[in-house]
Amino acid sequence: ATNLTVLGIETSCDETAAAVVRGPVQREILSNTIRSQIDEHTEFGGVVPEIAARAHIDVLDRIVAEAMNDSGCSWDDIDAVAATAGPGLIGGVIVGFMTAKAIAMAADKPLIGVNHLEGHALTARLTDDLDFPFLLLLVSGGHSQFLMVRGVGDYERLGTTIDDAIGEAFDKTAKLLGLPYPGGPHVEKMAAKGDVRRFRLPRPLLDRPGLDMSFAGLKTALRTQAKKLEPVDDQTIADLCAGFQRAVSDVLATRTGTALNLFRERHPQSEPVIVVAGGVAANQEIRNALTHAAAETGARFVAPPMHLCTDNAAMIAWAGIERMQLGPVNDMSLPPRPRWPL
């Protein structure tokens, strides 16, 4: 393979990001610029799509210029432009993807419309020596799913949440306990001071086989417990957070064990590998639970550095590089999509 240098753009949620990545031979992140919109959304307790889209418009030009500048590349050095074409908040996706189309047209470069989930799925191949197939557990504010990653463009969803995503469950739990948005890190901080034995919360769906998950009932159970004790003091909040986090970790660890067994059945010749991606992967208790579940079955556990687990543009540029290894790509007529299963 020969090296390609790709500009990536990501705007599908509340981060405006651009990056220049070179690969697949040396796999170098030449620049990786990101601007979070969290401050714009905090007062609403969640991402407001209209505000997100406008904020992307405000800063995307500057972020792309910064990524180009930091990379030390001129436009002549760039082989292609890759941008998230979905799934995500459609206003933001339109801003990013149409900007990428304009840049690609003006600079006369091929355009690659990347599925955001494919970006997450392939990131570990940018950061680690990792061959196909491998298992991916994607846990973010919008997604909770197990994927069998068999190759570029060859994914099988093995199981998913049937209701809330895990990050969403963290955020809703935080909100109902009066903790700030985004809730995940705050729940984790409180849980560290909590007694995990005080509240027994359910492990939804674990009595059923397969790899689907459910988190909405957990939040409802927690609300019921909290209501009984109103007004809740800080120690109770901490104890509830600890119980919640433990329940989620248990569910993920159990499902990960099941997924790894399935992997062994299907790919007896391959080393079993589980890769984690998404913002929830920042949670230390969840990481420990997954590390433990992998070790128990003798599997390798791969967790890319946090800034590449959460939304970023390096993963989009890298997915573009991976796609181009399969042959020429021209996505100029691809529409931006709010929904786009892998």
- Is 311 an interacting residue with respect to Zn ion (CB under 5 A)? yes
118: partner contacted, choices ligand KG4, Zn ion, none (Cβ within 5-8 A by kind): none
Q: Identify which of residues 109 and 323 has a Cβ nearer to Zn ion in the complex.
A: 323
Which of 55, 49, 56 shows the shortest CA–CA distance to 9? 56
Contacts with ligand KG4, residue ranges (CB under 6 A): 13, 140-142, 167, 170-171, 182-185, 188, 278-280, 282-283, 310-311
**Could you tell me which residues are annotated as the binding site for Fe cation?**
116, 120, 311
Query: 3-state DSSP call for residue 242?
Result: helix
- Is 331 an interacting residue with respect to Zn ion (CB under 5 A)? no
**How many of the chain's residues bind Zn ion (CB under 5 A)?**
2
What's the closest the beta carbon of residue 303 comes to ligand KG4, in angstroms?
13
What's the closest the beta carbon of residue 282 comes to ligand KG4, in angstroms?
4
- Given a contact cutoff of 8 angstroms between Cβ atoms, the answer to whether 204 and 251 are in contact is yes
Question: Which tokens go with 67?
Answer: 């990524």
What's the closest the beta carbon of residue 140 comes to Zn ion, in angstroms?
5
Could you tell me how many residues make up the chain? 342
| DSSP codes, 153-174 | TEEEEEEEBSS--HHHHHHHHH
- Is 15 an interacting residue with respect to Zn ion (CB under 5 A)? no
What's the closest the beta carbon of residue 116 comes to Zn ion, in angstroms?
6
Look-up: residue for tokens 């786009």?
340
Q: Is the dihedral of CA 237, 239, 241, 247 positive or negative?
A: negative
Question: Which tokens go with 64?
Answer: 């792309």
| Contacts of residue 167, Cβ cutoff 8 Å, sequence gap at least 6 | 139, 140, 141, 142, 144, 182, 184, 278, 279, 280
243: partner contacted, choices ligand KG4, Zn ion, none (Cβ within 5-8 A by kind): none
Single out the segment in contact with Zn ion by CB under 5 A; choices: 43-51, 246-254, 310-318, 325-333: 310-318
